[in-house]
Amino acid sequence: MSTQVQLFIGGEFVNSRTEQWIPVTNPATQDVIAQAPCATMDEMEQAIASAKLAFKSWKETPVSERARLMMRFAQLLKDHQADIAEIICQELGKTVEDAKGDVWRGIEVVEQAANIPSLMMGETVENVARSIDTYSYIQPLGVCAGITPFNFPAMIPLWMFPMAIACGNTFVLKPSEQDPMTVNKIAELFVQAGAPKGVLQVVHGGKAQVDVLLRHPDIKAVSFVGSVNVGQYIYKTGTEHLKRVQAFAGAKNHMVVMPDANKQQVINALVGASVGAAGQRCMAISVAVFVGEAQNWIPEVAEAISKVRPGVYTDPQAAYGPQISPQAKARILSLIEQGKKEGATCLVDGSGIEVEGYPNGNWVGPTVFSNVTRDMTVYKDEIFGPVLATMAVDSLEQAIELVNASPYGNGTSIFTASGAAARKYQHEIEVGQVGINIPIPVPLPFFSFTGWKGSFYGDQHAYGKQAVRFYTETKTITARWFDDDIQVSGPNMSINLR
């Protein structure tokens, strides 16, 4: 019998009273390993009310105490990294090292949250007018909410609630219903770190539960990571209900390869960046643009990628795991077929791959297309699978024009030996995150994750200083003190300041 995933409300793990359950499956076998509840409306109200009550005392907790909570939490996450990774492997199918990396990138954000005292500092100007001073405070918003995707079940929740809570807010988290057990383990460790009751709530479910968070008057801010259509819905609905919203959406990341680049470095980078994590990451390289003579390298890139094989996480030779669901697999296979029909050359076809002993797994092999044009579906749509489209242009200017014409702007990279080419690219490209000889330019948490255009809806980005601004308000005070007839006195003194 599969496990029933619990809710985390008011500092306690509780069994849901719902009659609606979502099966959580192992994507390598289709075995049901758990049942995730769709929290009832009463349970959603209880979670939000608990967070609202906890905010009254949590916002008064000294910032140094909040920082120390994050220090303890980070250490517990490190101590249990392998345990969390094992859960990720079971419910998402990632390889062990990929799952450990998922956890570690989240730990880095918690370490940044432990630096919260310096990040919460305001500003001061003395004598803005005669004997008048002006200064600002950074104060929390209240109850914040997070809605997270399946592909990074540890990292992305840890993008959100540690920074929000360190700022003095309380938080309601709704993780993906496809892999909810990872977040429950993380919440368990947060309690062990000493988090007060009610500071973090975890609710499970689908659209109905998300809608409660988007519409509830006590939710002040919503953070989301997911697909384009859902991201647009989250942003429109949340802002319509007067909430602060950051919504990270889809991507179509390009890697530009100049002919002066190191060929072997390019090949190695493309293998990992295009099919790693089964392509299920918003920073994957899904389009490689070869400039000039570099297009002659496309067959070698395809050959290298063709040697990559998916498999179960217990197989140390597996490069990546299965797709999250049969529906995701079917969608990717459909897009591969569409690419063939529209005239792209399929150099490597992973649509018929099998993994011995796991006939029911959601396997998609590495796939490479050449002769791709910008009007093709495999170029326009985010595939979210191990599929690389290759294109050829004559110049860096044409490559820049191609990338800038994309409606997405999550990440991009250029491989070159020319500082001038790199400088031109980083300056002119209309993408939020740029890598130079680095295929996946995800910044460390003391910067911010900064997608542009159709990859992001909102104003302030994830983690780093921008997250602090997203989860806080600035209060500005202008003060004047009159010194007439003020007595400063003590046991043996009396001074007239007149």
**Which residues are annotated as catalytic?**
282
Say if CB 305 and CB 368 are below 8 A apart. yes
Residue 341's contacts (CB-CB under 8 Å, 6 or more residues apart) are none
CB atoms within 10 A of CB 470: 25
Distance CA 324, CA 384 (A): 11
227, 231, 233, 235 alpha-carbon torsion, rounded to 10°: 180
Distance CA 430, CA 411 (A): 10
**Greatest CA span in the chain, whole angstroms?**
95
Q: What angle separates helix 181-192 from helix 63-79, to the nearest 10 degrees?
A: 130
Listed residue (308, 296, 411, 290) closest to 367, CA to CA: 308
**Which run of H or of E encompasses 137?**
strand 132-140
Buried b (16+ CB within 10 A) or exposed e, 394-411: eebebbbebbeebebbbb
CB atoms within 10 A of CB 118: 8
